[in-house]
Chain A
Amino acid sequence: MAGAFDFVPAIAALPLLAFVIALFAGQYMPKRGAEAGIAATAGSLILSIWTALTVAGMTGSETFYNENLYTWVAGVADSAVTLRLGVLVDPLTALMLVIVSLIALLVHVFSLGYMNDEGETGLPRYYAGLGLFTASMLAFVFSNNILMAFMFFELVGLCSYLLIGFWFREDGPPSAAKKAFLVTRFGDYFFLIGVVGIFATFGTGLFAPVEAASGTMESFPHMAEMAIEESETFFGYGAQTWMTILGLLVLGGVVGKSAQFPLHTWLPDAMEGPTPVSALIHAATMVAAGVYLVARMYGFYALSPQALAVIALIGGFTALFAATMGVVKQELKQVLAYSTISQYGYMMLALGAGGYVAAVFHLTTHAIFKALLFLGAGSVIIAMHHNENMWDMGGLKDKMPVTYWTFLSGSLALAGIVPFAGFWSKDEVLFEALIHGVGTEGTLGAMFLLAYAMGLLAVFFTGFYTFRMVYLTFHGNARTDVARDPEPVRWNVKAPLAVLGIGAATVGLVNMAPVEKLTGLHIDFLHQWLDGPEEGGWPDALSTDLHHYEELLHNVPHVDPAYPIGGEQTTLIVSAALSLGLALGGVLLARSLYGVDEPVEHTDKLGGAKALLTHNYYQDESQVWLAQGVTVPLARAADKFDQGVVDGVVNGVSSVSLFTGSRFRRIQSGVVSNYAALMTLSLVLLLVAFVVLGGVA
Chain B
Amino acid sequence: MAIESQYYLLLSAAIFCIGVYGILTRQNALLFLMSVELMLNAANINLVAFSFYHGNLTGQVFSLFTMALAAAEVAVGIGIVLVLYRNFEDIDVTKAATMRW
CA A396 – CA B33 in complex, angstroms?
A: 106
Answer yes or no: A668 CB below 8 A from chain B CBs.
Answer: yes
Whether the Cβ atoms of B24 and A670 lie closer than 8 Å is no
> Smallest CB–CB gap between B99 and chain A, Å?
6
Q: Which B residues touch A671, using CB under 8 A?
A: 93-94, 97
Chain B residues within CB distance 8 Å of chain A: 20, 23-27, 32, 93-94, 96-101
**A–B complex contacts, Cβ < 8 Å, 21 sampled:** A668-B101, A669-B97, A669-B100, A670-B96, A670-B97, A670-B99, A670-B100, A671-B93, A671-B97, A672-B93, A672-B96, A673-B23, A673-B24, A673-B25, A673-B26, A673-B27, A673-B93, A673-B94, A676-B23, A676-B24, A680-B24
Whether the Cβ atoms of B94 and A672 lie closer than 8 Å is yes
Whether the Cβ atoms of A680 and B20 lie closer than 8 Å is yes
Answer yes or no: A665 CB below 8 A from chain B CBs.
Answer: yes
Answer yes or no: A677 CB below 8 A from chain B CBs.
Answer: yes
CA A672 – CA B98 in complex, angstroms?
A: 11
9 pairs of A and B residues whose beta carbons are closest in the complex: A670-B97, A670-B100, A672-B93, A676-B23, A665-B101, A671-B94, A668-B100, A671-B97, A677-B24
> Smallest CB–CB gap between A680 and chain B, Å?
6
Q: Which B residues touch A668, using CB under 8 A?
A: 100-101
Which of B23, B25, B96 gathers the greatest number of chain A CB atoms within 10 Å?
Answer: B23
Q: Which residue of A lies closest to B95 (CB)?
A: A671
> Smallest CB–CB gap between B46 and chain A, Å?
16
> Smallest CB–CB gap between B61 and chain A, Å?
27
CA A246 – CA B24 in complex, angstroms?
A: 78
Chain A residues within CB distance 8 Å of chain B: 665, 668-673, 676-677, 680
Which residue from A670, A676, A677 sits with its C-beta under 8 Å from B98? A670
Which of B96, B99, B100 gathers the greatest number of chain A CB atoms within 10 Å?
Answer: B100
Given A676-B23, A676-B24, output 13 extra A-B contacts at Cβ < 8 Å: A668-B100, A668-B101, A670-B96, A670-B98, A670-B99, A672-B94, A673-B24, A673-B25, A673-B27, A673-B94, A677-B24, A680-B20, A680-B24
Q: Which A residues touch B99, using CB under 8 A?
A: 670
Q: Which B residues touch A677, using CB under 8 A?
A: 24
Q: Which residue of A lies closest to B25 (CB)?
A: A673
CA A665 – CA B23 in complex, angstroms?
A: 23
Q: Which B residues touch A670, using CB under 8 A?
A: 96-100
Q: Which B residues touch A680, using CB under 8 A?
A: 20, 23-24
Whether the Cβ atoms of A672 and B100 lie closer than 8 Å is no
Q: Which residue of B lies closest to A665 (CB)?
A: B101
Q: Which A residues touch B24, using CB under 8 A?
A: 673, 676-677, 680
CA A677 – CA B26 in complex, angstroms?
A: 12
> Smallest CB–CB gap between B8 and chain A, Å?
20
CA A671 – CA B23 in complex, angstroms?
A: 12
CA A669 – CA B93 in complex, angstroms?
A: 12
> Smallest CB–CB gap between A625 and chain B, Å?
55
Q: Which A residues touch B98, using CB under 8 A?
A: 670
> Smallest CB–CB gap between A324 and chain B, Å?
75
Q: Which residue of A lies closest to B24 (CB)?
A: A677
> Smallest CB–CB gap between B42 and chain A, Å?
14
CA A677 – CA B20 in complex, angstroms?
A: 9
Q: Which A residues touch B93, using CB under 8 A?
A: 671-673
CA A670 – CA B92 in complex, angstroms?
A: 13
Q: Which residue of A lies closest to B22 (CB)?
A: A676
